[in-house]
């Protein structure tokens, strides 16, 4: 009987330690806004594009670096496929982010003063059978 009690205590202690380590290693909170997702500071919104029924793609700029975030307004808290991207025209470069996210995709950033960019994003339903997407033409040639 004594061995049974020792094993039971050991099992409960191990379970408590595992539960504690899972709680400690939980992911950080999502950013509170698209600007916060870009890092805050001197970023400000210069454009946005609605994804009707799914979210909004935001383009932020800090004077030299463009930042794009696709912010979910539907299925928030549920991991769904969401993407954000930005391309620089010259010299050519790109940054993209896509995965099953609960709140937003991005930030994706490119240093692009004095050249045009193309930016966009998309968001899917949980089943993956419906989505909304948008991509800009070459624009914001600052």
Buried b (16+ CB within 10 A) or exposed e, 60-69: bbbeebbbbb
pTM: 0.79
Residue 29: its pLDDT value, please?
56
Inform me whether the pLDDT recorded for 35 exceeds 60.
Answer: yes
Is the confidence at residue 99, as pLDDT, over 70? yes
């Amino acid at each position: 009987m004594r061995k049974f009690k020792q094993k039971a205590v050991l099992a409960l202690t191990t379970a408590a330690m595992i539960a504690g380590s899972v709680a400690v290693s939980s992911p950080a909170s999502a950013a509170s806004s698209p600007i916060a997702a870009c890092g805050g500071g001197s970023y400000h919104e210069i454009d946005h594009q609605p994804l009707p029924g799914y979210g909004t793609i935001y383009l932020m700029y800090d004077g030299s670096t463009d930042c794009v975030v696709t912010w979910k307004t539907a299925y928030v808290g549920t991991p769904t496929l969401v993407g954000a991207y930005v391309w620089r025209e010259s010299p050519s470069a790109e940054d993209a982010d896509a995965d099953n996210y609960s709140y937003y995709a991005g930030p994706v950033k490119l240093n692009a003063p004095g050249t045009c960019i193309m930016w966009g994003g998309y968001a899917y339903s949980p089943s993956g059978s419906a989505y909304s997407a948008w991509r800009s033409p070459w624009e914001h040639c600052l």
